[in-house]
Structure 1
């Protein structure tokens, strides 16, 4: 599967109050966005929470002609809200994640993970993505083997 992400800085002093966004304030806004996406996502025209769970909720939304069913799981400690698509869509996962940049400013990262079909289509249409995929899949395979071995047997002594 292929994951693509975009990150933006959430900064700026409010002209009326002189306040700047805080992590706690951004987290509360992200929770509201998860429950009331029509306020935040122009493409979503309707949404409702169908069921609540101890760790999140199930919501149905309309995005253009598409009807979405998503399992929403907030993780405040990690600063992540995960939207797992349960319907027939190209995306298996959407994440909204709070972070900080190298200057300590708050950031929001939106990432999407494509299902296998759209991933294959994207890779077949772009030599650049195909090369990246091949390189990093090989790197991940090598890293995984060494990490697994080290996890099982400990860090090797220096030569």
Structure 2
């Protein structure tokens, strides 16, 4: 379990080295959506405290994209999930079967310093959790390893993000 403190470094190593990028950090029971931003402005930080939407678009069976959309700013981004990156096979096999209430965490970090600028923790919509767990089951049975998933993700990324966002099952956050 991670402890988040505003203004402190994020407890996971900065893997983007000063580039603007989004990623998902898998946890034993769910995941965190992490966005590294370059040159953050107060409006960027405030956006993470306001209304937004999150959802899932399974671009191909077992190839889910988690979509985050800030409608007021006309901003959208996606992250992919690859359960084969989980090192422990038992943890990986158990991940889709967790049935307790799930917290979804959205994290905004400075891309250069790894400083935590903002975060939101919220109970994930049960329908969203089930869609993600179903995608995990499909991925773990369909793809033999992380490289096969990465190839499928690369192919699915040919779909334009606006189209992916329109096809996603979305959930609102106030």
TM value normalised by structure 2: 0.26
Q: Which is strand-richer, 1 or 2? A: 1
* Structure of higher RCO (CA pairs closer than 8 Å, 6+ residues apart): 2
